[in-house]
Structure 1
Amino acid sequence: MNKVMDDNLLKRYEEVKGLIEGYCKTNLSEEFAGLCIRAIDKVIETNEKGFSKGRLEGWACGAVHALAGVNFYFEKFSKINVKASDLYKSFNISSSTALSRSKEIRDGIIGADIKDWVTEENRSTLKEIAYNIAREAIYIENYEERINEAYFALSLYDRCVDAMLIIADEEIMDLNKKKEAYKLALDAGYDEIKEDFESFRGNFWSIKETQPYMLAKFSYGDLLWALGEKEEAIKEYTEMIELNSSDSQGIRYILINWLLEMNKDEEVEKLLATYSDDATAIFKYARALLSYKYGDLDKAKDELKEAVKVNSFIPPYLLGYKSMPKSLPDYCEAGDEKEAIMYCWYSLSAWRSILGSLQWLRKNYR
């Protein structure tokens, strides 16, 4: 503290400092106490008159509360947990007074850039904290809060792929800007794992560190297809299956329809053979469609019969007897109507691209 203080101010400062040190010695750490005291120093430098007023316990508790928030001590994922109610009780102060002082310190002293106000331990785990914040943000219902949390995560770690994806997914921007945003996320995800990329090959997604990259690759490929860059989209999704042979993300269910639409029949055959045990409606309808395309109508009819047994909701949507919703359902179960909607969302163009397939379906699905 460089500021020259009169006796009353100095006494007040020393008492607040003592309260902070006493609490932190019992509950937190000497390093954390130092951050709180530095915040009080800044308060005096910028607002000496304000600091001269109010209960000492309010300033001490406010500083601890503000810095505990900055260091995520109130969050479930933190290794150190502080309960706000216990904090107020320790300083014998009301929550309203503590929160008022905390806000004053947080807004006026700490600001948006918190990196200089975190403990050494937290500084080394800002990346992990950023990812935790971004992953929790996905479940926030309010749009503005969700976006703000994503930007906050990026302020802690500017390569946080999950936060980048929230922004790319949800912020209003034209498709080319969105493409750039997804590519930035994809590149950031690659940078995280590039040293182990080849050793991870085949087991992506099951390895936690690869998941941000695979999520970014999914979104990037999906947008490429929407932009008409279909060969590039197929390339992205084909590589995803090569990287994750178990295909935990279900990429094959989208890719097979893209391949059918683009007349890549050999690649369709290869994909069907790779997952020959796949008994989902998506693959059964794909097998029937490919057999129809090859002119093997008896085989196609038998395969269609098997497909309808697995999900009978699909033909009415493909044939337009039922209207497709404007957006995909959040989830589906095998054989249900939501699965039919998801299938038709990705496959209708493939059926339309094969001459006569829908007329054949109309005659044979019942």
Structure 2
Amino acid sequence: MTELKDPKMPKEVQEKGNTVIGITDEFCLTHLDDKYAQLCRNVVGKLARKRPSPLLRGDLRIWASGVIYALAAQNFLFDKSQPMHLGAEQLAELLGVKKTTMGNKGTIVRNLLKIGIFDPEFTHPDLLKDNPLTWMLLIDGLAVDVRQLPVEIQRKAFDMGLIPHVPGEEATDG
């Protein structure tokens, strides 16, 4: 397991944010993986930094379930064809919340953070390589798949933080 990174949160929201993180960490590390736990931490940090933070109102267990639901929907966790999957009803049962409440809060989370389909920022690392938006860059106003560019340009894109790794170097690794 990799060490999880704590998100930055304003002091006035930190206690509530840490409570939500405690719930999401426990769930993810028990039923999913540490990568989902880190994604949840990142989302909670973003919610905590909103002005005003929505975490200051409402049941924190419901916020945690909404965060998990939003990421589950984003990452096809409900799709039985995926190697890692949980149904929405099973997810709600494990979290101890109603499915509709969890789904509604998940929609609020997705709307607040403007989480769009295939958004690389909210995509599980194992799914990034298959996410077409991960590899698209605008160069002089033209969308280009960075995997089709020379490795030197891929390295520059990686150094700039635009892509998660250098795809042209995968074949030469180990």
TM-score normalized by the length of structure 2: 0.67
Pick from 77, 80, 85: which aligns with 2:84?
80
Pick from 106, 110, 124: which aligns with 1:119?
124
Give 1:83 deviation, angstroms: 1.1
Please give the alpha-carbon distance, in whole angstroms, between the structure 1 residues aligned to 2:41 and 2:8: 13
Please give the alpha-carbon distance, in whole angstroms, between the structure 2 residues aligned to 1:23 and 1:104: 20
Counterpart for residue 27 of structure 2 = 23
Residue 106 (str. 1) matches residue 110 (str. 2): yes
Counterpart for residue 131 of structure 1 = none
Opposite residue 20 of structure 1, the aligned amino acid is T
1:78-109: CA deviations, max 9, x gaps?
Answer: 11111111111122111222112101111221
| Alpha carbons 2:62, 2:102 under 8 Å: kept | yes
- Cα–Cα, structure 1 residues 32 and 110, in superposed 2: closer, same or farther, change >3 Å? farther
| Alpha carbons 1:62, 1:98 under 8 Å: kept | yes
| Alpha carbons 1:110, 1:117 under 8 Å: kept | no
Counterpart for residue 49 of structure 2 = 45
Counterpart for residue 8 of structure 2 = 2
**Structure possessing the higher relative contact order (Cα contacts under 8 Å, 6 or more residues apart):** 2
Counterpart for residue 39 of structure 2 = 35
- Cα–Cα, structure 1 residues 40 and 18, in superposed 2: closer, same or farther, change >3 Å? same
Identify unmatched segments of 5+ residues in structure 2.
Answer: 1-6, 137-147, 149-174
Give 1:64 deviation, angstroms: 0.6
Deviating 4+ runs (over 4 angstroms): 155-158
Aligned length: 131
Opposite residue 18 of structure 2, the aligned amino acid is E
Opposite residue 22 of structure 1, the aligned amino acid is E
Give 1:110 deviation, angstroms: 4.3
Q: What is the CA RMSD across the aligned residues, in angstroms? A: 2.3
TM-score normalized by the length of structure 1: 0.33
Pick from 101, 106, 116: which aligns with 1:97?
101
Please give the alpha-carbon distance, in whole angstroms, between the structure 2 residues aligned to 1:2 and 1:157: 27
Identify unmatched segments of 5+ residues in structure 1.
Answer: 128-154, 159-190, 192-366
Larger Rg: 1
**Structure 2 counterparts to residues 216-227 of structure 1, below 5 A:** none
Counterpart for residue 64 of structure 1 = 68
Give the match's secondary structure for 2:110: helix
